Structure 1
Amino acid sequence: MNSRFTVLTTFCIVALAVLGTLALAVYASDAVSERQQRQQVDEFSNRALLRAELVSSEAETALRQLVRYDGTPCSDDHLKQLRQTEEQFRYVREVGWTDGVKLRCTSARGRVDTALPAPEWTSAAGFTAWQTETGKRGNERPMFNVRLGDHVVVIDPRFYLDIVPLDNTIELAVLETQDGTIISRSPGADHELLRAALQRNTNNAYFERRYYTVERSHRYPIAVVAYEPEDRVRRNPLAQLRHVLAPALVASLLGTWFVMRWRRKLRTPRNAILQGIRQRQFVAWLQPIVSLESGRCVGAEALVRWKLEDGSVIAPDTFIAMAESLGLIEPITDQVVHSVFDGAGSVLARRRDLHVSINLAGEDLVGTRVLDTLKDCFRKYAVRPEQIWFEVIERMLIDTARSTPALAAYRAAGHRIFIDDFGTGYSSLSYLQDLPVDGIKIDRSFIRSYAKGEEMNKIVPHVIEMARSLDLAMVAEGVETRAQADYLREHGVQYAQGWLYAKAMPADEFLRYLERESARAREA
């Protein structure tokens, strides 16, 4: 009897100790994870507010720029000004002018005669705003209209929430703070819950079985509301203990392993990019560059893509700026270089007439680290330095004293240097003379209008003449029509890239593209 009692007592003490340890571990783990999960919701809403303020700032800047126009409304000159404003601002989808009663002309539709809706809300700065529906019947989507004075800009509400998701269970929305009208929201966001959360006095709390946070803008009458199911933020410790009650000793080890594994999956943006770097998820897609004289492909531009484990691909606009701000752009550049050689190194070794152009970030201009990365690739694939070109965005070259030595070192190693997006920054003749470069890339925004049957942007002839006076090669970006290509060829531009020829594609598709082109050449 005593022996049995001792065994039972010992078992109970050990069981209590194990269960107590598990309970403490579960409680501590839940407390830590809840704090991290709440911080993630808060960070997500903060990033969304930054994006919403950026979009609102573009709309404000565009409108204040248009207010200064003192010409004849809806004249040809005015319509040209409206179109230039639309092209200048990334998030503006259309620009219009109204006489206060009707919309009289827009950048996309020219002269119109459309009744002006009543504004849904106003701001102290004189702005009014309202929402409209656009698109074919049955496939409408909302658009956001902002007016200052007699001008109106139209913004796609999706731009307000165009950020990398941190968690697929976080719901998000941008609301107007006067009456809680929703400007943009994620597909699963509850309209009534969002407005109720906005009306509460607290910025973050548990409400309706969800954890929510509210970020209000100090610049504009907008706010971001984000929420996540409460059971995703904080768990029920007793419910977890019931799953590990019987196999207590084994469950203590498995539970610790599970918690650590679960915590590792809580990824911040920095961790997500770092994991992408560790798993070599950043790859180069290649967009053909074509000779305008012969029509043959002479090379390609390497464009980085983030290929996730599930096979989905993220465009660079989503993560490049974040990687630069976090100081992680250099390893991404290195992965792009290796991806170029892994995908196209063999064809570059066979065809000396081909080149691949790689984009350099601002950090890559601090030194010549990329040249060291290239050395191993050259030895492995027998590719020549003159087959690797580099592109540098114009705004990164403002400090010529900082960038010139690095550019000179790249050229001395046998590489050609091109200025990307030329004409969108501080381009000038003296500026080009001071830089050791071989050519320029004409930004797509300057030739876009020609595809719509309009005249070529007046900047293009000056850019071409500037490049020709300095004997610089030229590549035109965004060529989509034969008329654009003919104009550029007739005016002395040597190369072009754009959807007229091919979109950016994985390396294996690019190799098939070259094979098809060679087959057509043989048949011809």
Structure 2
Amino acid sequence: MPRMRDLFAPLRQFFHHPWLLAVLAALASAVLLLAASVGLTLQQMKQSESAQMNARGERFLDRLEQVFGQLREGVDQLQAQPLRGCGPDMQAQLQQVALESRFIYEAAYVDAQAACSNRGGERVIEPLRGPDIQGPTYSYWLNTTTEPNDNLAALMLGRGNFLVSTSRGHLTDVVDLPPGGSLLVVLDHGTRAIPVLGPAQDWPPTADWPAPSHKALLELPDRLVYRMATKSPDYQLVLIAPRASLPWRLNGLLWLLYPGSLLLACVVGWLVLQLIQQRRSMTSELQQALRRGELQVLYQPIFELDSRRCVGAEALVRWRRPDGSLTSPDLFIPLAENTGQIRQITDFVLQRVLEQLGQLLRANRHLYISVNLAACDVMEPRIGEVSARLLAQHRVTPGQIAFEVTERGLIDVVVARENLQTLRTAGHQVLIDDFGTGYCSLAYLQTLPVDCLKIDKAFIDALGHDAASSGVAPHIIRMAHDLHLRVIAEGIESEEQAQLLSSEGVKYGQGWLFAHPVSARQFAELITRGRRVAGRRIDDEP
């Protein structure tokens, strides 16, 4: 055990440098905050990028459906009229169709002898290759030119001798493609893709295209692919945008995140420093309190439920400062356990009990006082040696000093069993305090050298109510009886609770129904005069 303490000595020494701990806490929090901020920002940007891609895709799809619809209507109108050739009437008809249709930029008539367009002498659209889509009625040409001119044809539709086309401007005015993005028309059941807008893309985008996912938006590591279903079974529209711009956009946001993360990290470091200094300050104050005698011991009497005879008491330590204020045990006891000062407090309580009540205990051999042990007391044999020395000094039998341990204090059951057995062999009683709130299983309980179980107040309060834990206390009582253990009920505050516990076979109890924590003088008066003390709260004590 000393060798183990020597191994951890450098670590303990390290934790005694508050500034170093504060800096480490600040650095750790800065890393965590920045990582969390970057992760959140990445997630939000990806979601925003996906939402923008969805919006672009929907707008393109709506526009393309409108464009194809007007192209079909225009070419149907031209095919239905009787004029053929390139006379003035045909020129007028072509101009009328183009004027009536928002998305028809050019309408043309083409046969073996002549070609004419609504654009006059500017140009006549003529496909330079066979149609990309050949249907029973219409022929489709996609991306008829790659020149970056919004007035040049991007889509062309033909029927008979008539051709109609839309310009790039009729598509790009809906939404701008991101750099490197493309609008593709996918043909031949997904095996071929022709760009309508933007550069050609590697196709297919995935090895298992068409992707099995039914989602319209397919998120790949380097690009987003938005699939748009159309009314025609012959083609599908796909919008592709790269994700290369994401780190650059994120870089700008990181500059906004740095100051906030560093500021929060400094605040965390400052709070850690204040907490450490406060704990060190309280540690020092507690040490001074032990030297100045500011700690005092009070006694919570334990009664036999049937006869209401006092059979003992639990020793409670309180810290009353010079200004009269009380520091809660819930605050300084855990601190003392962490710093190792709890050993001094345990020794102080044991010594003060024997100094104050030694004569009373010698005169009343049936009486006992229980002292609470911390986890470090249970894991070391030291307390048995201290107890033996003090008992011999005050001529009190070991059976009149009991030791209470909590389930949470049984860190190593094997070591605890050995040390507790040593105490029992010496004649001390061993009690499990607050039973039911820890992790002591029945299997461990059967092997521990224990004389009594103390049921936690929370389970006593639930008795007689519909609370989910109302059946815990009776279960613990039956289990204790099966193991031939005594039971003490804590926190009894009403006569109904006392009667119910008595009917369940509980013989002993403590709580404000019988007495509040009292001083040594009041406890001696309670025993010697054989009457209950009304008792006052500790904060009412003079």
TM-score normalised by length of structure 2: 0.47
Q: Which has the larger radius of gyration?
A: 2
